[in-house]
Amino acid sequence: MLEAGLDLDGELLALACASHSGESFHLDGVRRILATAGLTEADLRTPPDYPVDETEKLSYVAAGGTPAPLAMNCSGKHAAMLATCVVKGWPTKSYPEADHPLQVALRATVERLAGEPVVSIGVDGCGAPVFALTLTGLARSFAAIATAPAATPEHRVAMAIRENPTWLGGTRRDVSRLVAGVEGLIAKDGAEGVYAAALPDGRAVALKIDDGGQRARPPVMVAALRALGVDAPVLDELAEHVLLGGGVPVGTVRCIL
């Protein structure tokens, strides 16, 4: 999208990369991205939803909020897609369709960064196309962004993530804690137990929890980063997921190597 002329940096570019928690600053940020293109949240094609973060969801409902496209965790990237369409003069109503010029350009960029072809295209929960890659290709694409030279679009993306981790996820999200706690890291959590991360020297990892569950995802990422030689206090904080029974700890999920 940056290559197509989208003019975003800093926190709003991080939000364009996000699966955000739906905190008030996230929702305001989405409105800001849309406003730069003369659009409103009515132009979003994300399905109506509540904030993905449970604490935010409770606050949202208590304040009278109902499911809305704005609150859906992918609204930041959808707002950026819409803004890119305005810059290029492309249709805005059909932007999530796989044959739309925006999605064709996105696929080509994903293939270039991953160093492999997209083998199939599905439909993400947010309604946008989702491109199937190998885990190696996914890790390779993150490494390409993390190691990109200054002033390139990839470097702009990497710096936005590194400098604004709460805009990528949220104040209570493990991905935001990981990016903030490991110098130079970029990372992104995803649906169905997917997680990818890369460092400025090119070390990278991508993983997929087979059953799609999220609770094993942070401990496995911690183990993978440690195997790559990463050492930071945040890894100790995320190395175990505590299991509760009757409201008290009864076990943990941890990675055994």
Mean pLDDT over 13-27 rounds to: 98
Alpha helices, H only, 116-253: 135-146, 153-163, 165-168, 174-181, 217-227, 233-238
pLDDT band at 113 (very low <50, low <70, confident <90, very high): very high
- pLDDT mean over 20-28: 98
Residue type, 204: A
| 15 has pLDDT over 90 | yes
**pLDDT, tens digit, for every residue of 211-232?**
999 999 999 999 999 999 999 9
189-198 residue pLDDT tens: 999 999 999 9
pLDDT of residue 257: 78
Entry pTM: 0.96
Model confidence at 32, pLDDT cuts 50, 70, 90, reads very high
